[in-house]
């Protein structure tokens, strides 16, 4: 399976193919609104602002599997992100990133880039950098700030676009 073949529900309810971002560099993040890492939304938006014009996007996937830190419904989550952090990047519907109900996207990402202690995601704001060709370049822990990923995004954006 290729990342372009995966679909996910947007926070507004529509089903979206990740193929819509074919040829772009992506930073895919499992997020939560009531987490100590929630202020990273500001850094994620800064990356979106800085690199969107060059073929980059953050994709946020709210998840309530860690400490019940994402209790709201999809509309509440989207409203929180837009009003508190002025987010403009896509916010998807709440998903699971581990276990039998895990979303296929996160099964795909984890299969390609396991973590330090196995493939399971351990907390909110785990980040996956995906290249223009759909390759999972790197996995970043929740403590890795968005700002510290900027040089890796630069390098991914500088890579030649996929053929065809």
**What does the pLDDT read at residue 117?**
64
**What does the pLDDT read at residue 2?**
85
Ranges of each domain in the chain: 3-158
**What does the pLDDT read at residue 115?**
67
Specify the fold of 3-158: Glutaredoxin (3.40.30)
Residues 126-149 pLDDT 10s: 999 999 999 999 999 999 999 999
Question: Which one, of 74, 70, 61, lies nearest residue 7 by Cα?
Answer: 61
Write out residues in the chain with pLDDT < 50, as ranges. Answer: none
The question of whether 81 is a catalytic residue gets the answer no
The mean of the pLDDT values for the chain is 93
Q: What is the 3-state secondary structure (H, E, C) of 10-59?
A: ECCCCEEEHHHHCCCEEEEEEECCCCCCCCHHHHHHHHHHHHHHHCEEEE
Distance CA 26, CA 132 (A): 8
**What does the pLDDT read at residue 112?**
87
**What does the pLDDT read at residue 119?**
84
Catalytic residue, candidates 6, 28, 32, 35 = 35
Sequence-distant (6+) residues with CB within 8 A of 36 are none
């Amino acid at each position: 399976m290729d990342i372009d073949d995966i679909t996910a529900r947007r926070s507004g309810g529509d089903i979206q193919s990740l193929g819509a971002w074919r040829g772009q560099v992506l930073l895919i993040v499992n997020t939560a609104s009531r987490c100590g890492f929630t202020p990273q939304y500001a850094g994620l938006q800064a990356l979106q602002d800085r690199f969107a014009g060059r073929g980059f996007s953050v994709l946020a996937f709210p998840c309530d599997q860690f400490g019940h830190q994402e209790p709201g419904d999809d509309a509440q989550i989207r409203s929180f992100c837009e009003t508190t952090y002025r987010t403009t990047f896509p916010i998807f519907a709440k998903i699971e990133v581990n276990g039998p109900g895990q979303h296929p996207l996160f099964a795909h990402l984890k299969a390609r880039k396991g973590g330090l202690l196995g493939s399971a995601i351990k907390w909110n704001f785990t980040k996956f950098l995906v290249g223009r060709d759909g390759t999972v370049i790197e996995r970043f822990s929740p403590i890795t700030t968005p700002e510290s990923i900027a040089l890796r995004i630069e390098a991914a954006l500088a890579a030649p676009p996929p053929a065809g």
